[in-house]
Amino acid sequence: MNNSTLDLAKALISRHSLTPDDAGCQEILIERLKNIGFKVEKMHFGGVDNFWARRGSSAPLVCFAGHTDVVPTGPVDKWDSEPFTPTLRDGMLFGRGAADMKTSLAAFITAIEAFVAEHPNHAGSIALLITSDEEGVAVDGTVKVVETLKERNELMDYCIVGEPSCVSRLGDTIKNGRRGSLSGKLTVKGIQGHIAYPHLARNPIHLAAPAITELAATQWDQGNEYFPPTTWQISNMHGGTGVTNVIPGTVEIMFNFRFSTASTVDGLKNKVHAILDQHGLDYDLAWELSGKPFLTPRGDLVDAIGSAIREVTGMETELSTSGGTSDGRFIADICTQLVEFGPLNATIHKLNECVAVADIEPLSEIYQRTLVRLLA
């Protein structure tokens, strides 16, 4: 078996790239890309290392996107092997970032190398967008690179984000969209007072309760073919002074929408305000949008990577929009079609994170065959 992808994955895992530190991972990738004719542009924002690499200048542009940073290891003594020492055991490759997402990065590189070797004069262009600020606050990474590309009208036709997408077997799941995330911090105002004299106070928890009941029961949309219905959930609620004889003056309620393309940000906000106003509440409400939903229906990209998966694994892949947010939410702003596809996600962010060695080269081959369908 050709172990080039495994070797590169091990080299990346050995770097202590705790977010947002790249720890030299990107230089390893850049050197390989320059050797096959990529023009590499390093983009440094707010202490975060990113790069944009491109081979070719014509359309269509196929981009591979990912991150070199990893989450903290947790207690090292709870690992069965040192988390930044890539370890082969029982057919698995162990190490922090093995699944999320250094194996995907390695597979990107070896797939592109193999494709360019076979198709040196390929149509269109290939690009990579790599950041070290995905697992952290994600303000100086992909979002800033996308802003730069958008300003100079450098748009993508297709993008594959290497997030671990599979559930039970390599190839069983492609993420073709993600829900958006909209949070609110609601402060309902009352009048503080002695618990024994409720007529001299106004309890904001009591005042808010009917509105909360209605918000929790509201059907925000029906979802669609790709997304479940939008959900509204309270995540935190606080009111009171900590004693039993004081009616609080305010109650603070933090909530979140995970919403689909069947709803809009403004539509959700307007509906919440309408319910709160209908109940006559005196309130403040601060909103935070951390990601818009995105969706890639069946088309060129989904068909190309689905066919590649079928040829390599024999599996018919499923499309999914489940899970949290990813950097795809930023890239979708400048990309026509975007999917996420990578190894199994069962051990991501856990102790003893790992990938099956038997999946590593097939992952690279799937990426390579996808390029053949889109650019050869």
Cα separation, 66 vs 151, whole angstroms: 21
Cα separation, 22 vs 234, whole angstroms: 35
Q: Which two tokens stand for residue 303?
A: 């068909």
Q: How many CB atoms lie within 10 A of CB 154?
A: 15
Active site (annotated) includes residue 80 = no
Residue with tokens 């290497």: 162
Between CA 317 and CA 13, with CA 131 as vertex, the angle to 5 degrees is 75
Q: How many CB atoms lie within 10 A of CB 44?
A: 11
Cα separation, 293 vs 265, whole angstroms: 10
- Amino acid identity at 130: I
Q: If you count them, how many residues does the chain have?
A: 376
Instruction: Provide the CB-side half-sphere exposure for 248 (13 A, CA).
Output: 18
DSSP 168: S
Among 49, 100, 113, 134, which one carries the catalytic annotation? 134
Span between the terminal Cα atoms of the chain, in Å: 25
Q: Which two tokens stand for residue 310?
A: 């079928």
Active site (annotated) includes residue 134 = yes
β-strand pairing of 156-161 with 335-340 = parallel
Output the CA torsion 17→33→106→300 (10° steps).
120
Helix residue spans in 90-136 (DSSP H): 103-118
Burial classification of residue 264, based on how many CB atoms lie within 10 Å of its CB (0-12 exposed, 13-18 middle, 19 or more buried):
middle
Instruction: Provide the CB-side half-sphere exposure for 184 (13 A, CA).
Output: 24
Among 21, 22, 49, 69, which one carries the catalytic annotation? 69
Q: Are 338 and 294 in contact (CB under 8 A)?
A: yes
Query: Which residues have a catalytic role annotated?
Result: 69, 134
